[in-house]
Amino acid sequence: MGSHSSEVRDGMRIDWDVPIPMDDGVVLRADVYRPVAEGRHPVIMTHGPYAKGLAFQEGYPGMWGPLSTKYPDVTAGSSNRYQNWETVDPEKWVPEGYACVRVDSRGAGRSPGLLDIFSPRETEDYRACIEWAGTRPWSSGKVGLLGISYYAVNQWQVAALRPPHLAAICPWEGASDLYREFARHGGILNTFTSVWYPAQVASVQHGVGERGARNPNTGEFVAGPGTRLEPELAALRTDAPAELLSRPLDEAYYRERSPELEKITVPVLSATNWAHHLHTRGGFEGYARVGSADKWLEVHGLEHFAEFYTDYGVALQKRFFGHFLKGEDTGWDLQPPVQLNVRHVDGAFERRPEREWPLARTRWTELQLNAGALTMGEEAAREEASADFDAAGDGLTFTTEPFPEDAEITGPAAARLHIASTTTDADLFLTLRVLDPDGADVTFVSGLDPAGVVGAGWLRASHRATDPERSLPHRPWHTHDRPQPLTPGEVVALDVEIWPTSVVVPAGHRVALTVTGRDFELPGDGPWPSTYGVPMKGHGIFLHNDPDDRPSEVFAGTTTLVSGPAHPSHLLLPFVPRNARPAG
């Protein structure tokens, strides 16, 4: 099965490139960090395509620099020699008696085979790796999963297969529905994969070899051994961006890559971010739908990766896994089912325990849209009105009156819009905004944008069909199983999901809803920060501008929004009384 090595360094026993055979003969490779002393230890595992040997500092310097500077607790107490993108730092876990296992998934890093992200084969591999780790002489037999993004998405996937040695999972900001959260927002292609896949996955495909980085701890190629020509590599990976573009409906491809959350029964700590347009929804949906008797939800803000590495996040993770993997008295039995970090406009967070999600004391409020005045409020519109907008332009913005007192909006939101189009389809982009007394946007550090919007929702009009059994007033469930083209000029009703958000709106501020036919952009001339060459103007790099998915002859027409007694268009918001907080 090839060579692997073992050494003691920095207070750990490290086994490099340990072979893990799969049932079809492919051998995956893992790095194992464990205590030097003999014994059986609970396992913290990740499995994925980002190359276990790629140093965070080298592979992602644009993220590592701000993270390590802005949050000094991230690097404190560690040599940081083993930092790896979106996985735990073993120097903070091994001293407490854990074995940390990082596995390169099939076709990535040091593991050969066909690279096919989120595929059933990859999930089966993960299950085999969990069982392998649970039966090693150095393992206690209890395996926990902990990681961000990809390493969270595939936790939901593999946990639904119920590996016997899986004891607990903590998916930290990870999608749980490949179609609705990762690939197609409201049926509209999210172009993230076309940017992310070449930069972060194909760049460390097994066989990149000498064209890629070296592991600073071993000197080995992170995506080797061996170096293949690009045509050979292309034949050994699926074309993920092309797959998503070619599959506009929620078909078997997406279903077999999205877990049946109800089958998950192990303890779950679902941690999610208020503002990540790939992962926010997945954390809430995962928490709500898993079959686990023991489940918790934590919601935070800031950058996508920040709180995973800070003392706040690490302490939460250790309390959870200490309880379920080690049987320690960590106080987790007193942990509230829901822990929120409610956002304030000055960038501060209000940490608050809750009993449920959505909050039972929510005052669900319909703000009626007036297309004539471009206002919204609780009073129903008395007359019919309409407003046209260029689908390729700035759209329409509806605003409330200034709030007379502070008001909290925390929870999922939705809108019912009555629209018509001059073409056979229309894409709707809904942006929830808070405007200060001068009319300027209040923005937040979001998952991948230093000035993110407050909330967002999307829907392709031809995908307006909903499943009444799965839909809720605050979370319509679109089937995305058949197109329903528009008849030009004919008004139809659309129920649009707006992903969960949180903000305390101060007195004197307004709430606004902007409806556009393209990605919303914050007003102003920038300069705008960019990631992988994509300028970020409020939505990070999660854009919807593929011309093949959105041909101009269909999606660049004129859209009409209608309001009034016969066409009541409204925004449903989750107001939370500030004077009726639950006990801790």
Q: Does residue 307 lie in a domain region?
A: no
Which pLDDT tens digits describe the chain residue by residue (584 residues)?
A: 457 899 999 999 999 999 999 999 999 999 999 999 999 999 999 999 999 999 999 999 999 999 999 999 999 999 999 999 999 999 999 999 999 999 999 999 999 999 999 999 999 999 999 999 999 999 999 999 999 999 999 999 999 999 999 999 999 999 999 999 999 999 999 999 999 999 999 999 999 999 999 999 999 999 999 999 999 999 999 999 999 999 999 999 999 999 999 999 999 999 999 999 999 999 999 999 999 999 999 999 999 999 999 999 999 999 999 999 999 999 999 999 999 999 999 999 999 999 999 999 999 999 999 999 999 999 988 899 999 999 999 999 999 999 999 999 999 999 999 999 999 999 999 999 999 999 999 999 998 899 999 999 999 999 999 999 999 999 999 999 999 999 999 999 999 999 999 999 999 999 999 999 999 999 998 889 998 889 999 999 999 999 999 999 999 999 999 999 999 999 999 999 987 655 44
Q: Does residue 21 lie in a domain region?
A: yes
Q: Does residue 354 lie in a domain region?
A: no
Q: Which backbone phi and psi does 230 adopt, to 5 degrees?
A: -55, -40
Nearest to 429 by CA among 441, 438, 419, 439: 419
The CATH code of the domain that includes 151 is 3.40.50.1820
Tokens 């809750």 belong to residue: 354
Q: Which backbone phi and psi does 44 adopt, to 5 degrees?
A: -110, 120
Sheet strand arrangement including 27-34: 5-9, 12-21, 27-34, 99-104, 41-48, 139-148, 166-172, 268-273, 295-300, 338-343, 349-354
Rounded CA-CA distance 109/208 in Å is: 8
Do residue 370 and residue 254 come from a single domain?
no
Domain count along the chain: 2
What global pTM score does this model have? Answer: 0.97
Range of the domain at 534: 363-576
> What is the reported pLDDT for 565?
97
> What is the reported pLDDT for 285?
98
Q: Does residue 329 lie in a domain region?
A: no
Rounded CA-CA distance 91/11 in Å is: 8
Q: Does residue 68 lie in a domain region?
A: yes
**DSSP class per residue in 289-334:** H---SSEEEEEE-SSTTHHHHSHHHHHHHHHHHHHHHH----SGGG
Instruction: For residue 59, give the 3-state DSSP assignment.
Output: helix
Q: Does residue 279 lie in a domain region?
A: no
* Four-residue CA torsion sign, 208, 211, 216, 218: positive
Do residue 491 and residue 379 come from a single domain?
yes
Q: Does residue 350 lie in a domain region?
A: no
> What is the reported pLDDT for 516?
98
The CATH code of the domain that includes 421 is 2.60.120.260
> CA angle at residue 108 from 103 to 110, to 5 degrees?
65
CA 355 to chain centre: 23
Rounded CA-CA distance 472/449 in Å is: 30
